Amino acid sequence: MNGSLDEKLEPIYQEVLHRNAGETEFHQSVHGVLETLGPVLVKYPEFAELKIIQRICEPERQIIFRVPWQDDKGELHINRAFRVQFNSALGPYKGGMRFHPSVYLGIIKFLGFSQVFKNALTGLPIGGGKGGSDFDPKGRSDSEIMRFCQSLMTEMYRHIGEYTDVPAGDIGVGQREVGYLFGQYKRLTNRFEAGVFTGKGLDWGGSRARTEATGYGAIFFTQEMLKARNDSLEGKRVIISGAGNVAIHATEKAQQLGARVIACSDSRGVILDEDGLDLDLVRQIKERERGPISAYAERKKGAKYSENGSIWEIPCDVALPCATQNELTGKDAKVLVENGCIAVAEGANMPVTPEGIQTFREAGIAFGPGKAANAGGVATSALEMQQNASRDSWTFEYTEARLQEIMANIHRTCHETAEEYGAPGNYTVGANIAGFVKVARAMEAMGHI
C-alpha cells in the first residue's frame, strides 16, 4: 500500500485486516480512504470518540447464500451469491449486482465500501451496498441465465425493497438479467415495486439515459477536470479500456465533445484505430454479436489488433480505465506519463493501483477517482427511483441535463474539499473526505447504531 496512515488510524486499519483476513481488494479500498482522513479527525475529534470510522468499515449486514440452478442439459450447478448492505445512514442501500467468476466476499465488500462514499457524493438520499455471484454468464443460454436469476432472487427478495435495498446491474448484469431478477421479485412479493431495482427496461419503469449514465458521467467529470485547468476534451487523443457498457458510452460522449477515441480493449486484446473508433462497429460486435473485439480489425481497414497487448502503451492525452479493478499498474502509469497523458478518470471501480495513483499524483496529472468520476451511473439510478416513486417518466434530454449537473456538482465538491484540507487539485482526497464527512454527520445524528 502507498501512503502512511495517521497514528490514530493505523490501529483501526490493523483491526480491519484482522477481522477481514484474505480480502485484499477490501483492504486496499479501506486503506485508500483512511490515508486521507487524518486532517478530518483534527477538525472533527468527535468522529474518533464516536468510533465512526470503525463503524463505517464494518458492514451493517452481510448476506451469503447458495444458488442452485439447472443447465439446459439437466445438470445441477451450485453458485455462491452475496449481498453486502454496507451503510444506510443516508438512505436505502444502493449498489449493483456483479456476475463474474472472480466474485468473492472481499470484492463485494470493496465495491460496497466505495459505494457508500460515491453515493454520498451524488447529493442524493442513498446509502451504499453491493452484491453479486461467482456465476459466469459467458456462454450460457438465455434460459440458463433466467433460471439462475430466478433461483438467486428466490433467496434475495426477502432482503431487499424500495425502502431497504435497491440493487442494479454491474459487470455481467445488464437489462436482460435485471428483467429476470425483477420478474421473480414481482412474482414472489405480488407487488409491482418498480423502485426496488434500477437499470430496468424503458417499457417497465426504466430511466432514459440510465444505460449511458456511467460512461457519460465519466466524460462529464473529465471535462470538468480539464476545464479547471483551462483546457477541454476538444481535439484530445483518448484511450478507453474495456468494450462494455461504460466504455462504449464514454466513447460516445467523448466523440460528441470533440475528442478522438483511438483505442479500446477486451479481456483478449487491444484495438487501435488512429482514425478514431467506429462506434457503430464496436456496438455491433460487443452488444449484438457478443463477440471478441479482434473482429473490429478484421472489418475496419487500417485498424490494428494486439492480442494480450497493453492499451496503456498507446500515446494519448486522456486515459479512461473502464474495465475492472487494478487493471492499470504503477508501471503502466509511468508509461502514460512519459507519453504525455494529462488526465486520467476511473470509469471502473478501483482500476488504478495505489502505485499508479501515486505516479499520477507526483506527475501533476488530473486524476479522477472512481467514487467521483463514475458516480453518474448510481446518480441516474437514484433519478430512476424518483421517477418510479412519482409514477413518472422523464425525457432523455432532461435526465442527461440532471446527470451533467450532478457530475459538475461532484467535481466542485471534490475540488473545494481538497482545497479546504490543504491538498489542492487532489480529487482523491476531496472525494474521500467530502463523502466521509457527509455519512459521518448522519451517523452521528442517529446515535450509536
**Which residues are known binding-site members for substrate?**
94, 115, 118, 169, 381
Q: Among candidates 261, 229, 225, which has minimal Cα distance to 369?
A: 225
Rounded to whole angstroms, the Cα distance separating 212 from 277 reads 18
Which residue positions form the known binding site? Answer: 94, 115, 118, 169, 214, 245, 381
Q: Are the C-beta atoms of residues 345 and 216 closer than 8 Å to each other?
A: no
DSSP 8-class letter at 312: G
73 an active-site residue? no
- Which member of 43, 51, 130, 286 is catalytic? 130
- Given the DSSP bridges, would you call strands 61-70 and 76-87 parallel, antiparallel or unpaired? antiparallel
Rounded to whole angstroms, the Cα distance separating 300 from 170 reads 30
Rounded to whole angstroms, the Cα distance separating 361 from 284 reads 38
In angstroms, the Cα distances linking 426 to 285, 329, 417, 433 are 38, 19, 9, 11
Rounded to whole angstroms, the Cα distance separating 339 from 384 reads 41
Residue linked to cell 501515486: 358
Collapsed DSSP state (helix, strand, coil) of residue 99: strand
Which residue positions form the known binding site for NAD(+)? Answer: 214, 245
Angle at 388 between CA 383 and CA 393, to 5 degrees: 75
Helices (H), 244-299: 245-256, 279-283, 294-299
Q: Are the C-beta atoms of residues 396 and 209 closer than 8 Å to each other?
A: yes
Q: Are the C-beta atoms of residues 364 and 337 closer than 8 Å to each other?
A: no
Please, how many CA atoms are within 13 Å of residue 25, restricted to the half-sphere of its CB? 21
Torsion of CA 151, 204, 211, 29, to 10 degrees: -40
Residues tagged active-site: 130
